[in-house]
Amino acid sequence: MHISANFDAGNIEVISLEDNNNIQLAIRPDVGGEFFQWFNFRITGEIGEQYVLNILNAGDAAFPAGWHNYQAAASYDRDYWFRLPTSYEDGKLTIKVAEMECQTLQIAFFAPYSYERHQDLLASVQTHPLVTLEHLGETLDKRDLTLVKISSDASDDTKNNAQTNKPNIWITARQHPGETMAEWLVEGLLHSLLDSDNATGRALLNKANFYIVPNMNPDGSVRGHLRTNAVGTNLNRAWAEPNLETSPEVYYVIKKMEATGVDLFYDVHGDEEIPYVFLAGSQGTPSYNDRLAHLRDKFAEVLKLASADFQTEEGYPIDAPGTANMTLATHWVAERFDCLANTLEMPFIDNYNLPDTDTGWSPERSIKLGEASLVAMLAVVDELR
Catalytic residues: 345
Question: What amino acid occupies position 344?
Answer: L
**Distance of alpha carbon 172 from alpha carbon 147, whole angstroms:** 9
Q: Nearest to residue 318, comparing CAs of 293, 284, 344?
A: 284
Give the torsion sign (CA, 151, 153, 156, 161). negative
**Distance of alpha carbon 22 from alpha carbon 220, whole angstroms:** 30
**Distance of alpha carbon 361 from alpha carbon 70, whole angstroms:** 11
Supply the DSSP symbol for 277.
B
Q: Nearest to residue 177, comparing CAs of 212, 224, 241, 141?
A: 224
* Bridge-based pairing state of the strands 264-271 and 168-173: parallel
Q: How many residues does the chain have?
A: 385
Stated as kind and residue range, the H or E segment containing 334 is helix 329-337
Q: Please, what's the b/e burial string for 275-303 (b: 16 or more CB within 10 A of its CB; e: otherwise)? A: bbbbbbbbbbbeebeeebeebbeebbebb
